[in-house]
Amino acid sequence: MELVKLDEKRFADYLPLMDREAIEEINYLSDELKGKRMAMINATAFGGGVAEKLSALLPLLKDLGLKVDWWVMDGSDDFFQVTKQFHNCLQGQEGSLAGADIEVYLHQTRLNAAFMEEWNYDFVICHDPQTAALIDYRDSTQHRGRWVWRCHIDTSSPNPEYWDFIYRHIRRYDAVIFTMSDFVGEGVGLPNLTLITPSIDPLSPKNRAFEPAEAAAVIRRFGVELDRPLIVQVSRFDPWKDPLGVIEAYKMVKKEFPSVQLALVGSMATDDPEGWDYLYHTLRRAGEDYDIKVVTNFNGISSLEVNAFQAAANIVLQKSLREGFGLTVSEALWKGTPVIGGRVGGIRLQIEDGVNGYLVETVEQCAERILTLLRNPALAHDFAAIGKEKVRREFLLPTNALAYLRLLHKLNFLP
């Protein structure tokens, strides 16, 4: 495993965005847990939503007095191919779990577990399918501590074969975290089941306030014309994010608004070997339509550029077919941009249909809702304002930190 260097954050910087009750509870819980040692384990330090969440959360927990280490698993190409299949099948894709795939998965788990032999943590928190079997090696550590498994994906309709395999491991943890109750199957018995929604960091380069002229200058570099409507989707290139459906919806809208532009903005994660293939599918579907901009971290996209695209867009889409949460929804709402999202997973926690955005199920519905907002800019403005306040109350980083502190405090005092 590789230890990731943490940035610095100050809890005091977030106080103006918080309600008094939340501030008082965080101060109390952090005092109770001060000095406790915690390890977070996931599969990549860059490119995926989990990495982004941890890079924001862990420095804040450290500033609140916890001793935090972030470990990233070592993985072979075969391991990441297998765990990507786990990810897809746990989200409902058909397939059979082969014995050879199980061996690849468990072999890489054993190699990573060797790093844990001298560990002495009070809490170990493992993220997503890649890490699930590490619990088998808890007894090899000097002190067992409390172990938590955190699921970030939509497991509401999982492939039963893959779910049964993962379930055999996660039921051994001291606590299990899901984003929402719909992701936990009926009759599933898991210890200290906890629901925690992810969050965005309002002070990060990705979410800091942009002056309109500043955002415009950034996106102009990618060929966007600022006097024309702009639709943006920010996500990995993945069939579950449905970039091909986004392109089809854009083409329908373009018949009425010929000047409309589409930007598909994404980063290529190190633990997502299918990403390049699906990027090529997306580029082929875009074809020679020069009003479709497909941009990634390999041609100049960083957090700053993502921020600019979301801030400057007329509409942000997150047309997912499956979605654990979809941080890009809260990111866009926080910037005052209206959002249309798929009626799936954690997007439903962020968008109340017809109140602060729209939820859609088909390409046709998506196109229709885009047209509604383009025709009614006042409605789009109202949606964005309501959505921003919802994000402030429910989906900013301190709220996420508070949820983790509550769980750790509970586990710390279990017999």
The radius of gyration of the chain from alpha carbons, rounded to an integer in Å, stands at 21
Residue 213, pLDDT above cutoff 80: yes
pLDDT score, position 273: 63
Least confident of 137-151, 251-265, 359-373: 137-151
Q: What is the pLDDT of residue 269?
A: 62
* Rounded mean pLDDT, 73-86: 91
pLDDT, mean of residues 242-256: 96
Better pLDDT: 220 or 276: 220
Domains of the chain: 2-199+396-412 (3.40.50.2000), 212-394 (3.40.50.2000)
pLDDT(274) > 80: no
For residues 38 and 67, the answer to whether their CB atoms sit within 8 Å is: yes
- For residue 270, what pLDDT is reported? 55
For residue 297, the model assigns a pLDDT of: 73
Handedness of CA 86, 88, 90, 92 (dihedral sign): negative
Task: Identify the weakest region by mean pLDDT among 4-8, 229-233, 271-275, 320-324.
Answer: 271-275
Percent of the chain with pLDDT over 70: 96
| Residue 340: other Cβ atoms inside 10 A | 29
**Exposure class string for 117-129: b at 16+ Cβ within 10 A, else e:** eebebbbbbbbbb
Per-residue pLDDT tens over the stretch 128-184: 999 999 999 887 665 678 999 999 988 989 999 999 999 999 999 999 999 999 898
Percent of the chain with pLDDT over 90: 74
**88-118, pLDDT tens digit by residue?**
999 889 999 999 999 999 999 999 999 888 8
Is residue 357 scored above 60 in pLDDT? yes
Cα 258 to chain centroid, rounded? 33
Categorize the per-residue pLDDT at 272 as very low, low, confident or very high, splitting at 50, 70 and 90. low
E strands in 164-257: 175-178, 193-195, 230-234
More confident residue, 153 or 46: 153
Mean pLDDT score of the chain: 91
| Predicted pLDDT of residue 139 | 77
Question: What pLDDT was estimated at residue 410?
Answer: 96
